[in-house]
C-alpha cells in the first residue's frame, strides 16, 4: 500500500499558510477602504436625498 500521508514538506505548508494570511490581510484592507469611502459619501447621499425631497415638495422636480 502506498502511504502518501504527510507527503507535503513543512516549507510548502508554511508557504500555503503565508499565502492565506496575505489574502486575509488584503481582504481586511479592502474592506476598510470601502467602508471608509462609504463613510465619506454618506453625508453627501443624505444631502442629495434631502434636496430631492425638498424639490419634490416645491414641485420643481
Contact 25, 34 (CB under 8 A): no
50 closest CA partner among 40, 37, 39, 61? 61
Cα separation of 25 and 32, whole Å? 11
With 0-12 CB in 10 A as exposed, 13-18 as middle and 19+ as buried, what is 44?
exposed
> What local confidence, expressed as pLDDT, does residue 8 receive?
75
Q: What is the mean pLDDT of each run of 10 residues along the chain (61 residues)?
A: 70 91 94 90 90 88 65
Cα separation of 58 and 61, whole Å? 8
Amino acid at each position: 500500500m502506498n502511504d502518501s500521508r504527510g507527503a507535503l514538506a513543512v516549507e510548502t505548508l508554511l508557504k500555503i499558510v503565508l499565502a492565506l494570511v496575505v489574502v486575509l490581510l488584503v481582504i481586511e484592507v479592502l474592506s476598510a477602504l470601502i467602508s471608509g469611502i462609504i463613510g465619506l459619501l454618506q453625508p453627501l447621499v443624505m444631502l442629495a436625498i434631502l434636496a430631492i425631497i425638498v424639490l419634490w415638495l416645491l414641485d420643481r422636480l
